[in-house]
Amino acid sequence: MTVVELSLVLLGVSILAGALGSLLGLGGGFVIVPVLTLVFHLDIRLAIGTSIVAVAATSSAGAARNVTESITNLRVATFLALATTLGAVTGALLAGVFDARFLFALFGIVLAVSGAQMIHKRRVPEVKEPIPGLETVGMHVGAAGGAASGGRMADRLALHSAYYDEAEGLDVPYLVANTGLGLALMYLAGTLSGLLGIGSGVLKVPAMDLAMHIPMKVSTATSNLLIGLTAAASAVVYFARGDIDPIIAGPVAIGVLLGATQGSKWLVGIRSDRLRVLFVGVLGVVAVQMIWKGIG
């Protein structure tokens, strides 16, 4: 292939990665890294550097729309970014200390467990009716269930909110729970992001959705913004190391931006349950891929 031909192929793959990534609140790295290493036999170092650029592109393009559509919870994103950015720095520091194969396998197992949890989880029904006595933010969190530990922290930080569900045609209020656990999981997600150059939305979305009881759609949109902040905390390290090749990262960035813009358009009209099924499917594929890479 010539450079121009390579650029066109990368552009096509990246449009797909961007669309899938922003649709699911992932960075898109789960498409970019396997394609670049397995199909193009690109040096893993450069694949990871390219991936972190794709991650930043997916995040910003998707988040720009989600934020404007009022799906993203900015307070949750800002608060959890404390943990993800610290984690990303930790990951960048730890890079090279751990055996990469062990990490791939571990990551695959974590994904498989999250996927299994999402299939078997008995959903706490999302509150469609106004919660009695909860007209203002930060009041006591009692009846709505799941407001166990961390509910008080969420109260103090006024993390509870509501989002407008276009498919259902109404405002859906929600209460945030287990804030401490969410913070711990986000630190782990940030560390893996810094270490592997991925968005780790596959961990961020379940941390908000399953642990913190934030509706799937809000979790996905908030994850989109968080991923970009996390990527920024490690991307400059990759750039300085010479892991971001403009001839590869340029076409990938343009493609991902195009795909992510389309993907987030679909997200606004899609139903949460369909998004969940698609998400679990992608999770399974990536898990197998990661474990295979770890033991293969």
Partner 1 sequence: MPPPARGHGALTPPSPRGVRAAVGRVLHAGVLMSAAILVTGYLVGLVGQPAAFGSHAVEKAHLAGRASFPHSFGAVWDGIGRGSGEAIIVAGVLVLILTPVAGIVTSAVAFARRRDWLFTAISATVLSVILGSFLLGWLSA
Distance CA 59, CA 273 (A): 22
**Cα dihedral sign, 23-36-93-246:** negative
Enter the DSSP assignment of 294. H
The two tokens of residue 43 are 């040096």
Could you please report the per-residue DSSP string of 222-257? HHHHHHHHHHHHHHHHHHHHT---HHHHHHHHHHHH
Stretch that binds partner 1, among 83-91, 106-114, 198-206, 271-279 (CB under 8 A): 83-91
Distance CA 244, CA 62 (A): 22
Q: With binding defined as CB under 8 A, does residue 92 bind partner 1?
A: yes
Ranges within 144-163 binding partner 1 (CB under 8 A): 157-162
Q: Which of 35, 48, 63, 111 lies at the binding interface for partner 1 (CB under 8 A)? A: 63
Q: Kindly give the interhelix angle for 272-295 and 3-24, rounded to the nearest 10 degrees.
A: 130
Q: With binding defined as CB under 8 A, does residue 269 bind partner 1?
A: no
Q: With binding defined as CB under 8 A, does residue 241 bind partner 1?
A: yes
Q: With binding defined as CB under 8 A, does residue 177 bind partner 1?
A: no
Mapped onto helix, strand or coil, the DSSP state of residue 212 is: coil
For partner 1, the closer CB: 269 or 295: 269
Residue 26 has a CB neighbour count (10 Å cut-off) of 32
Ranges within 24-43 binding partner 1 (CB under 8 A): 40-43
Alpha-carbon dihedral angle through residues 127, 128, 132, 136, given to the nearest 10 degrees: 90
**Cα dihedral sign, 67-72-76-79:** negative
Residue type, 23: L
Q: With binding defined as CB under 8 A, does residue 220 bind partner 1?
A: no
Q: With binding defined as CB under 8 A, does residue 48 bind partner 1?
A: no
Q: With binding defined as CB under 8 A, does residue 218 bind partner 1?
A: no
Enter the DSSP assignment of 157. T
Total number of residues that touch partner 1 (CB under 8 A): 83
Q: Which of 8, 112, 239, 280 lies at the binding interface for partner 1 (CB under 8 A)? A: 239
Ranges within 198-217 binding partner 1 (CB under 8 A): none
Stretch that binds partner 1, among 115-123, 210-218, 236-244, 270-278 (CB under 8 A): 236-244
Q: With binding defined as CB under 8 A, does residue 96 bind partner 1?
A: no
Q: With binding defined as CB under 8 A, does residue 120 bind partner 1?
A: no
Q: How far is the CB of 135 from partner 1 (least distance, A)?
A: 6
Q: With binding defined as CB under 8 A, does residue 131 bind partner 1?
A: yes
For partner 1, the closer CB: 10 or 210: 10
Stretch that binds partner 1, among 116-124, 128-136, 178-186, 268-276 (CB under 8 A): 128-136
For partner 1, the closer CB: 26 or 53: 53
Q: Helices in 157-213 by DSSP H: which ranges?
A: 179-196, 201-206
Stretch that binds partner 1, among 61-69, 109-117, 177-185, 273-281 (CB under 8 A): 61-69
Q: Are 265 and 65 in contact (CB under 8 A)?
A: yes
